[in-house]
Amino acid sequence: METALAKTAQKRQVVFLTILLLLWEADCKTIRYSIPEETETGYLVANLAKDLGLKVGELATRGVKIHHSGYKELLQLDSETGNLFLKEKADREELCGVTEPCVLHFQLILENPVQFFQTDLQLTDINDHSPEFPHREMLLKIQESAQPGTVFPLKAAQDPDIGSNAVQNYTVSPNLHFHVVTHSRADGRKYPELVLDRALDREEQPELTLTLTAVDGGSPPRSGTTTVRIEVLDINDNAPQFVQSLYEVQIPENSPLDALVLTVTARDLDAGINGNVAYSLFQASDEVQQTFSINEITGEIRLKMGLDFEKIKSYHVEIEATDGGGLSGKGAVLIEVVDVNDNAPELTISSLTSSVPENAPETIISIFRVGDRDSGENGKVVCSIPDTLPFILKSTFKNFYTLVTESPLDRESRSEYNITITVSDMGTPRLTTRHTITVQVSDVNDNAPAFTQSSYTLFVHENNSPALHIGTISATDSDSGSNAHITYSLLPTHDSQLPLSSLISINANNGQLFALRALDYEALQSFEFLVGATDQGSPALSSQVLVRMQVLDANDNAPFVLYPLQNASAPYTELLPRAAEPGYLVTKVVAVDRDSGQNAWLSFQLLKSTEPGLFSVWAHNGEVRTSRLLSERDAPKHRLLLLVKDNGDPPRSASVTLHVLLVDGFSQPYLPLPEVARDPTQDEDLLTLYLVIALASVSSLFLLSVLLFVGVRLCRRARATSVGGCSLSEGHFPGHLVDVSGDGTLSQSYQYEVCLRGDSGTGEFKFLKPMIPNFLLQDPGREINGSPHCRDSFVFS
């Protein structure tokens, strides 16, 4: 009996619920409330009786109930008063996770009569969580060769709060080497990157410790810290690099567990342990770590947990590849979870042109048809190509498209195009078909040859051997095939005096220049000519370039002595007064060298002298000067052998022989003729003989002096009326001393009036004043008048 009554009660409940469901849509109202999370238990949310427009106590009489729709019982209703209280604290992060807004749905049911009310309770986020890093310490291994500006990704802090209460900024403790930059992901979450400001030096500081702080945007803000330990490594030249910086993949939501999502690949150019790459997830959130796994060795990303398109539509997975030396590369994978869409769009090529001439406008490349076997939105397709290519798609008829060139192509800029045609349907998510067409651009002769330099300067040493290769003129042509084959030639010059064809030749095929004969720097120091380059196109295009040829000097000329002239038949003699002071300029050797540069730098050197130490030669100007005072013991004749040498390699030289004759004064009545230099031993014997003769003559000279003194006194008395007169000694005066030409030691030519003083005991000449310029000597018929103060005159030039 009791069993029958229980079954009857169950049937009545089923019928009652069925009636409630049928009446749900007939009379349903929505009431919305909002409270902050973590509100204390017993908090008065609202008065339902008042909000529903019912009288106090009416809720109890009508049999009110609250249905929580799968949530735990957070609300408690006082049916007598109609007050709705919070039964226990509500944690928004526990109930909704990252979903925003966080809305909890409740149903209020009045049984008599039946009436439904939809109640929504929104939990607003408060800043009740501090940012937390996944690890207390992060380890970064950085090469000491890292350049300033290098970016190092850091693991982000996790904050269950959302919006402004989530992590907003990252800071790092003050240091000399790094600062931190905060970036935003596509979903708005912040992540840090460490930027190198100053180069690291492992020998100076092998390890650095920084404090990374994550701060949220709450009021007041909360923060979390972690320690970043940086190890400075020796140089590891290459870090792993992913083949693609961003991988994009779509995976159906009904994919089985352990299904392969995709395989990422990173390459490291290093060898050995530094080239071994290990893959890992980087900065992965809890959702990513729970859903995906990556094979450390192969880089395969597989499913660990089933996908739910309604919860998460896409995943942004950060991946990291680390080699054995500690260097790492960063990549990203965008995984889109899609609803099932069975058929991808189809593309059928009707016609295709694989080669297009450049400069041809609006050329048809291909005609193709697109379609999708699906229907509705999934059957509608959109066709596109990359915007960066000079091609456009034209819709011709229904689903037919024509691919044409948008502008004339330039083969020299790009000779091949890989055109990827992308066809996508309008389903959700879209399925895409891509087809790549390769188009070759054929060449047209539209580029003239271009020389590698705007002008060429070539150098060749003089006295070169004939057929010497002196340089190469090079030109390039951006065209291809025969349009790029270049022929070189010498162009005619405007200088009719330059026999270019006899000097230079050029190889027509490779532009090599050759000297046809030996060049002489002294005859031709430089010259210019034009070289032409012509391609083999039709019509042919050409260009020209200026070539400057510089002939470099070689030391092939010995110094030439201009002064004194070297004449073997009549050696040159210089006069030197015995009263000359040290440093007296005896003469100056003048020489030239036809070479140039250091090959023409001349230096002078005294090789041999009759009296060593008496004369010296200045090395740079060739001046021959006395080194000391002259004495009676010095020989009256000296022979100097000078060497004039240039600075070439090897040096060349010339010798100069000088004869120097010592005189008591330029007015000495008798000067012996210069003789050919004799052996020094003979001069020493003669000197001894002269000394003996001088000693024997001392007494006779004393007596002669007394007689001369008496005669002079008598002469002065007899000529008192003719004071200032002068007499010429009747002694023989050598004619070769009368005229000293301009080639002597005197730099200017003058004629002097000279008289021999009668009271002179030494017989010196007295130079009075210039009488007649040197040009009078050019006319032998002109008469020279005597001086009123002198009876005779001698001419010096």
- DSSP for 94-105? HHHTT-SSEEEE
Give 672's DSSP letter: P
* Nearest alpha carbon to residue 559 among 592, 513, 512, 514: 592
Q: For residue 193, with 0-12 CB atoms within 10 Å meaning exposed, 13-18 middle and 19 or more buried, which class applies? A: middle
Query: Does the structure show a pLDDT above 70 at 15?
Result: no
Residue 352 is which amino acid?
L
* Residue 402 token pair: 């024509």
Report d(CA 240, CA 269) in Å as an integer.
Answer: 8
Share of the chain above pLDDT 90, in %: 17
pLDDT over threshold 90, residue 480? no
- Residue tagged 């300067």 (tokens): 457
Helices 698-718 and 680-696: angle between axes, nearest 10 degrees: 60
pLDDT (tens digit per residue) in 496-511? 778 888 889 999 999 9
Top-ranked range on mean pLDDT: pick from 286-290, 751-755, 759-763: 286-290
pLDDT above 70 as % of the chain: 79
Give the pLDDT score at 455.
92
Q: What is the pLDDT of residue 746?
A: 35
SS3 sequence, 332-349? EEEEEEECCCCCCCEEEE
| pTM for this prediction | 0.37
Choice among 22-36, 462-476, 560-574 with the minimum mean pLDDT: 22-36
* Nearest of 491, 496, 499 to residue 515 by alpha carbon: 499
Q: How far is CA 728 from the centre of its chain?
A: 90
The label of the residue with tokens 């301009």 reads 742
Query: Which two structure tokens, joined as six digits, stand for 366?
Result: 């291909």
Mean pLDDT value of segment 605-621: 87
**pLDDT tens, 693-735?**
777 777 777 778 888 888 888 888 776 644 444 333 333 333 3
Instruction: Determine the pLDDT at residue 134.
Output: 87
Element (H or E) spanning 290, and its range?
Answer: helix 286-291
- What is the predicted pLDDT for the residue at 94? 67
What 3-state DSSP class applies to 745?
coil
The confidence band for 568, taking pLDDT boundaries of 50, 70 and 90, is: low
pLDDT-derived band at 782, boundaries 50, 70, 90: very low
Q: In whole angstroms, give the CA distance from residue 172 to residue 228.
A: 9
pLDDT of residue 399: 83
Cα-only R_g, the chain: 58
Q: What is the spatial distance between Cα 351 and Cα 367, in angstroms, rounded to a whole number?
A: 5
What is the predicted pLDDT for the residue at 9?
44
Closest residue by Cα to residue 238 from 145, 139, 127:
145
Tell me how long the chain is: 797
How high is the pLDDT of residue 69? 64
Mean pLDDT value across residues 626-640: 87
Which region among 33-37, 154-158, 321-325, 732-736 has the lowest average model confidence (pLDDT)?
Answer: 732-736
- Terminal Cα-to-Cα distance of the chain (whole angstroms): 173
Residue 733: predicted pLDDT: 35
Using DSSP's 3-state secondary structure scheme, residue 18 falls into: helix
| Residue pLDDT, tens place only, 349-362 | 888 888 888 887 78
DSSP letters, 589-623, are -EEE-SS-GGGG--EEEEEEESSTTTEEE-TTT-E
Classify the C-alpha dihedral 740-743-744-745 as positive or negative: positive
Q: What's the chain's average pLDDT?
A: 77
Instruction: Measure the CA dihedral 621/624/628/629, to 10°.
Output: -130
**In the predicted structure, residue 751 carries a pLDDT above the cut 70:** no
Pairwise pLDDT comparison (471 vs 699), residue with the higher score: 471
Model pLDDT, residue 216: 84
Instruction: Report the pLDDT averaged over residues 457-483.
Output: 88
pLDDT computed for residue 29 by the predictor: 60
Strongest mean pLDDT among 88-97, 305-314, 655-664: 655-664
Please report, for residues 85, 110, 119, 304, 492, the alpha-carbon distance to residue 28 in angstroms, rounded to integers and kept in the order given: 22, 11, 10, 42, 104
Amino acid in the structure at residue 384: S
Q: Which tokens go with 23?
A: 């009446």
pLDDT tens, 48-107?
Answer: 777 777 777 777 777 777 777 666 677 777 777 777 777 777 767 667 767 777 777 777
pLDDT (0 to 100) of residue 379: 76
**pLDDT tens digits, one per residue of 204-263:** 888 999 999 998 887 888 888 899 999 887 677 678 999 998 999 999 877 899 999 999
| Closest among 644, 564, 556, 565 to 594, alpha carbons compared | 556
pLDDT higher than 60, residue 774: no
What is the C-alpha to C-alpha distance for residues 285 and 317, in angstroms, rounded to an integer? 9
547: how many CB neighbours lie within 10 A of its CB? 22
Residue labelled with tokens 């260097």: 327
pLDDT at 756 over 60: no
* Contact (CB, 8 A) for 572 and 564: yes
Range in 373-387, 515-529, 623-637 with the lowest mean pLDDT:
373-387
In the structure encoding, which two tokens stand for residue 345, read together? 């769009």
DSSP 292-311: EEE-TTT-EEEESS---TTT
